[in-house]
A and B are shown apart, each in its own frame.
Chain A
Amino acid sequence: MKNIKQYRLIILFCLCFLAVANVNAQSDWPVPAKENENMSPFLFDDDMVLEGRISYENSCTSCHGTPGQDDFTPMAPPPGDPASDQFQLQTDGALFHKIKMGRGSMPKFEDAFADDELWNIVAYIRSFNKDYKQPLPNMEGVEIPEYSMKLSFDDNIDKLVVKVFAKNQPQPEVSIAAYVMGTFGKYLLGKSQTNELGIAYIDVDPTMPGDEEGKLSVMVKASKGFGRAKMNEEMVMVEPTIRKSAIEGRHIWSTDKMAPVWLKVSFFITVFGVWFVLLFIVIGLRNINKANKEEA
């Protein structure tokens, strides 16, 4: 009897310990204070949540599962469910920082997503929390500039030239990120800042294959504080490449559609020629046979 009580106590103690240890394991990912207080410059609206959902389903579902379903992949440490308190009790800045920087088996998404895309994901995670009130930075007296960009390519130095304007004035110290849009994702060409003339230069690798005209599809993002702009353009920047079909030319595995006419014709002539000769011999033998019988 006493034994059973002791066992129960031990088991209870173990369970408590495990629970506490688990919570501890979750919370021992330190976030720098500055990052922790970081706030989204955007109001989390339905559009952001939708964009975030697409990104989440592409890049996060494989480990974290669907938020609210507790169907994350069993790993050590467990990735956890973003709809759970363990996530929702953290600040926006902390979530943003952890997605961006990653740790251990949590990948680092700094190169895959731009900051605004990361905020989309945070907005999506927050959409599962009914009690969530978004803290917004103090915007009094802040004027959000409307940026516009002009892109050009300098083929002497193989650099993409980005000019940033606001109200026709060149804008210094604007962060620029340029990407090449691939079939399945965007390839980071480089990041830069505009100089006092509002111009930023980004290196382009001249060995990158373009299309038949040497065009690359580029996407450039400009951001400074709350001001943001995005631009897509097809630009001639690299050598033209001829896109070959994988089944061009003749191979041992080609279908007969690829066979040249001379081959088809000579093949059939040979086959029918052989048959003709054989038939000729058979008929000749029959005639000899007949002649033999008539003589006899």
Chain B
Amino acid sequence: MNQANKNDKSRRKFLQKLGVAGASAVAGSALLLQGCSDSNKSSGNKVKVLTADNKLVEVDVAHLKPGDKIQDLSYLQERGREGIPGKKFVMVVDLAKCKNARKCMKACQSAHQLKPEMHHLNVLEMEDPVRDTSYWMPKTCQHCDNPPCVSVCPVDATFKRQDGIVLIDNERCIGCRFCVAACPYSARTFNWTEPKNSEEFAEVTYDMELNVPQKKGTVTKCAFSADRVREGKLPYCVSACPNGVYYFGDQNEDLVTNGTTKKTVRLSALLDNNAAYTLMPELGTKPSVYYLPPRESKG
């Protein structure tokens, strides 16, 4: 009796599982087919998208479906933690070219819902009292390969991804500001008040790659524009710069692209030929942001 009961149960379970698997397979293939449906109407407007296997493909805008996934918080959370496989993003800042246009800051603040006094990226004036000169130095989060902020976070709200980007999940952040204290580069800032235009963003699903909508009582910082990078576009600051200060790219490819001229150069050659340095290397944080000294350099 017992045996028969057990068998019956397991059969029922098996059938249930089969049903679920079958339904999901049908739904999945339907979705896939829908995604692939080649409607003959093409707008001629092409966008670049990154496929699941990390290939950049050009897709016609008409063929894109407004993804329900993009509204799904759990999907966005998973994607944000996961990162982009096979990449390691780096930035090179050519100090010789920076003229304090501050276009990068403007682009960054408008993208990340930041008030004027809050900076993910700040252009600082570095003074040399001996020679009585100064130069401009844009400073972002360094996306360290040995990030002190991540070690001190008690709730795993700030983390490093496989592509080297350090992000914050403000759904988990408890606002303790340990990371602010731990960061030697003062790259992090805190939402003491309601963020800019918070009413407008009330209904928006939180995307940690963009870190919008911002939340009062949480820490925020530069995210290397992870949302843009996922689409194969250069970060907001990099493409906004009028003076060709920023190079951005993938260390694994050994290629970095200048945001202004779109010229792509070998990263290793750029760093070696121009005596590149990182900020506070003695701390062993291994930054992913390199600086070229403030002199005329060949880039």
- Which residues of A are at the interface with B, using a C-beta cutoff of 8 A? 46-47, 50, 55, 58-59, 62-63, 73, 75, 105, 107-109, 111-113, 180, 182-188, 205, 208-209, 211, 241, 243-248, 251-253, 255
Contacts and interface: CB of A to CB of B under 8 A. Distances in A.
A248 B86 CA distance: 12
A63 B242 contact: yes
A185 B162 contact: no
Given A58-B239, A185-B264, A186-B264, A253 B88 contact: no
Contacts of B164: 246
Contact of B262 (A59, A205, A209): A59
Given A209-B252, A246-B88, A62 B240 contact: yes
Contacts of A108: 261
Contacts of A255: 156, 159
Contact of A183 (B147, B160, B249, B262): B249
B47 to A, nearest CB: 10
A82 to B, nearest CB: 15
Contacts of B86: 211, 243
A184 B160 contact: no
Contacts of A187: 255, 264-266
Contact of A59 (B150, B163, B249, B260): B260
Given A59-B261, A62-B260, A184 B248 contact: yes
Given A73-B101, A185-B262, A248-B162, 9 more contacts: A47-B44, A111-B261, A112-B262, A185-B249, A186-B264, A187-B266, A211-B86, A245-B162, A246-B162
A57 to B, nearest CB: 9
A271 B181 CA distance: 30
A109 B151 contact: no
B263 interface: yes
Contacts of B265: 187
Q: Which of A63, A183, A205, A246 has the most CB of B within 10 A?
A: A183
B85 interface: yes
B250 A183 contact: yes
A240 B261 CA distance: 30
B45 interface: yes
A188 B150 CA distance: 38
Contacts of B196: none
B63 interface: no
A63 B259 CA distance: 12
Given A62-B103, A107-B244, A184 B261 contact: no
19 contacts: A50-B45, A112-B261, A112-B262, A180-B255, A182-B264, A183-B232, A184-B232, A184-B256, A185-B264, A187-B265, A209-B252, A243-B87, A246-B145, A246-B163, A247-B160, A251-B146, A252-B146, A253-B148, A253-B150
Nearest to A117: B262
Given A58-B239, A253-B160, A184 B260 contact: no
Interface of B: 44-45, 56, 85-88, 101, 103, 145-148, 150-151, 156, 159-164, 232-234, 239-244, 248-250, 252-257, 260-266
Contacts of A113: 262
Nearest to A58: B262
Nearest to B153: A253
Contacts of A46: 44
The 4 closest A-B pairs by CB, nearest first: A185-B257, A185-B264, A182-B255, A245-B162
A184 B234 contact: yes
A237 to B, nearest CB: 14
B250 A241 contact: no
Contacts of B234: 184
Contact of A112 (B252, B256, B263): B263
A217 B163 CA distance: 20
A209 B253 contact: yes
Contacts of A183: 56, 87, 232, 249-250, 253, 255, 257
A251 B162 CA distance: 13
A109 B45 contact: no
A105 B241 CA distance: 13
Contacts of B162: 245-248
A211 B243 CA distance: 32
Contact of A243 (B148, B252, B264): B252
A182 B249 contact: yes
Given A59-B260, A107-B260, A112-B261, A185 B44 contact: no
Nearest to B266: A187
Q: Which of B151, B156, B160 has the most CB of A within 10 A?
A: B160
